[in-house]
Amino acid sequence: MNRKIQKFCTMTCVTLTLAIISLIGVTAQEAAAPVEAPTADQRIGGLEAYIKNTDPTGSTISGFAGPGHNAWLMTSAALVLFMTLPGLALFYGGLVRTKNVLSVLAQCLGITGLVIALWYTVGYSLVFGASFGSPYLGGVENFFMKDVDSAPNTNYCYWVSENLFAMFQLMFAIITPALIIGAIAERMKFSAILLFVTLWMFVVYFPVAHMTWGSTGLMNGVWNADAKIPAIDFAGGTVVHMTSGWSALVLCLMLGKRLGFGHTMMTPHSTVLCMVGTGMLYVGWFGFNAGSALASDGVAASAFTATTLAAGIACATWGAVEWLIKGKPSVVGMCTGLVAGLVIITPAAGFVTPTSSVIIGIIGAVGSYFACNKIKQLFGYDDSLDTFGVHAVCGTLGAIVAGIFADPMINSNLISEGYAAKNGLKALVEGGTLWKAQLSSIGITLLISVVGTVVITLIVKALVGLRPVAETEEKGLDIVEHGEHGYEH
């Protein structure tokens, strides 16, 4: 009996061993089976999508960032930051008096650090998120940069890493409130500016940026098939220049004029610094406009060309007008004209032909010249460094001319079947009535900027006050608020 049991156990063990060996052999054979190689069509389709900056879905490289496009956007992001630090800081710093030059630099630095913190915590998500499903604000899914990694967010770009896209857009968020300080230079407390900017980002910038550029945005005619107002803004005519420019006017009116305005000479302390800052802005603006193609492609090349032409023509036009009217073309005037050309081309840069860019540059120079020299004199407001005259005026004009000169031969997204045909943008472009949608976006941006700034200014005034005491303003903000002098002579 024991032998039978022993024999049975032996046979069972042998059988189980053979079964296991057989199973291992089959598994190994399956593992060794070759993976089906991608087809030639899949490989070519991915390459074509990369070159054309189109959707790579179905190819072997879907979900991967493209090295060339990433390289251009990293360069562009650095160029846009260069516009604020040190470009805008030097441009504005050269235009104020010696006793206040450091206050302008401190304001640019303070705003940069503050906005970076806001963008990381909530700003990016509120602008470019989608969890709210709202045309007015994005969502909460990317708070603290959650899930923002090196894979592309295809709601916005097929070939650029989302973390890089977020950093590129951050640079726009930094420079926008920094532009405002040009209107209130030399007379607003540092603490008041930081509190104002914090509130302003939530009330004005984040909503307008989402409405214009967000994937569910109310006014995103290019990339939202459900946009109720199919408007266009290539690189920030409404989002950056209109919001900052119109808010700057409201703030300078509520703040009041500088002590001695109209009686004391308030000439720039360094036209040299102003010109150096202008050159930096010009160079940085190529990242601002051409980078907004979000790829190194033909649209970026068109935006680069338009930016070059509009700014140069505006610089020459301002100088010619000033020469004709005042008898001499000034360096500050030509610098202002150049920046006016950069501002007015911004919303149209990736949509217009070279000839249209030249026309737009002339419009910007003439419009800004009369705003800075005639309208300002007529109404007597103290827009210290002409933020309203340049950014509000040219940002608004730019939004209008973008609707007039936008050409689908330059940018086919204007008539795309996936978005533009569904939300009505294509019909407006082909019917020559895009300017109507542009006027609607201008009206909404203007309303939010003006009303929001009035409310925010009243809150800041109640909490910390707006202006330093008269003695501080007379001594200069540099030494009293920052304990330093810009120059030691």
- 209 token code pair: 């940026």
Question: Among the listed ranges 2-16, 129-143, 207-221, 405-419, which one has the minimum average pLDDT value?
Answer: 2-16
Residues 352 and 400: their CA atoms lie apart, in Å, by 13
- 68 token code pair: 């060339």
pLDDT score, position 436: 97
Residue 79 has pLDDT above 80, yes or no: yes
**pLDDT bucket at 38, cuts 50 / 70 / 90:** confident
Residue 94 has pLDDT above 70, yes or no: yes
Contacts of 297 (CB under 8 A, 6+ apart): 52, 53, 69
Report the percent of the chain where pLDDT is more than 70. 92
Rg (CA), the chain: 28
Which residue in 83, 86, 73 sits closest to 283, CA to CA? 83
State residue 202 phi and psi, 5-degree precision: -75, -40
Contact status, residue 382 vs residue 249, Cβ threshold 8 Å: no
Kindly state the DSSP code that residue 202 receives in the 8-state scheme: I
Mean pLDDT of 73-86: 98
Residue 25 has pLDDT above 80, yes or no: no
**pLDDT bucket at 4, cuts 50 / 70 / 90:** low
**pLDDT bucket at 404, cuts 50 / 70 / 90:** very high
Contact status, residue 476 vs residue 100, Cβ threshold 8 Å: yes
**pLDDT bucket at 489, cuts 50 / 70 / 90:** low
Distances (CA, A) of 465 to 192, 244, 261, 382: 7, 21, 21, 19
Contact status, residue 471 vs residue 463, Cβ threshold 8 Å: no
Residues 260 and 461: their CA atoms lie apart, in Å, by 22
Domain assignments of the chain as residue spans, ordered by start: 63-482
Residue 106 has pLDDT above 90, yes or no: yes
**pLDDT bucket at 61, cuts 50 / 70 / 90:** confident
Residue 28 has pLDDT above 80, yes or no: no
Apex CA 397: angle with CA 394 and CA 403, to 5°? 140
Amino acid at 230: P
Residues 53 and 68: their CA atoms lie apart, in Å, by 11
Mean pLDDT of 47-75: 86
**Torsion angle defined by CA atoms of residues 418, 419, 421 and 425, in that order, rounded to the nearest 10 degrees:** -160
State residue 381 phi and psi, 5-degree precision: -80, 155
Exposure pattern of 155-164 as b/e (b: 16+ CB <10 Å)? ebbbbbbbbb
Residues 370 and 372: their CA atoms lie apart, in Å, by 5
Topology classification of domain 63-482 = Ammonium transporter fold (1.10.3430)
Query: Which tens digits make up the pLDDT trace of 406-421?
Result: 999 999 999 999 999 9
Residue 278 has pLDDT above 80, yes or no: yes
**pLDDT bucket at 306, cuts 50 / 70 / 90:** very high
Kindly state the DSSP code that residue 56 receives in the 8-state scheme: -
Mean pLDDT over the full length of the chain: 92
pLDDT score, position 58: 75
Residue 12 has pLDDT above 90, yes or no: no
Question: Among the listed ranges 341-350, 368-377, 480-489, which one has the minimum average pLDDT value?
Answer: 480-489
pLDDT score, position 35: 53
Query: Which tens digits make up the pLDDT trace of 248-258?
Result: 999 999 999 99
Residue-by-residue DSSP string for 5-38:
HHHHHHHHHHHHHHHHHHHHHHHHHHHHSPPPPP
pLDDT score, position 279: 98
Residue 46 has pLDDT above 90, yes or no: no
**pLDDT bucket at 16, cuts 50 / 70 / 90:** very low
**Residue 389, SS3 per DSSP:** helix
Residues 315 and 274: their CA atoms lie apart, in Å, by 14
Residues 443 and 437: their CA atoms lie apart, in Å, by 10
Residue 211 has pLDDT above 60, yes or no: yes
Query: Which tens digits make up the pLDDT trace of 180-204?
Result: 999 999 999 999 999 999 999 999 9
**pLDDT bucket at 59, cuts 50 / 70 / 90:** confident
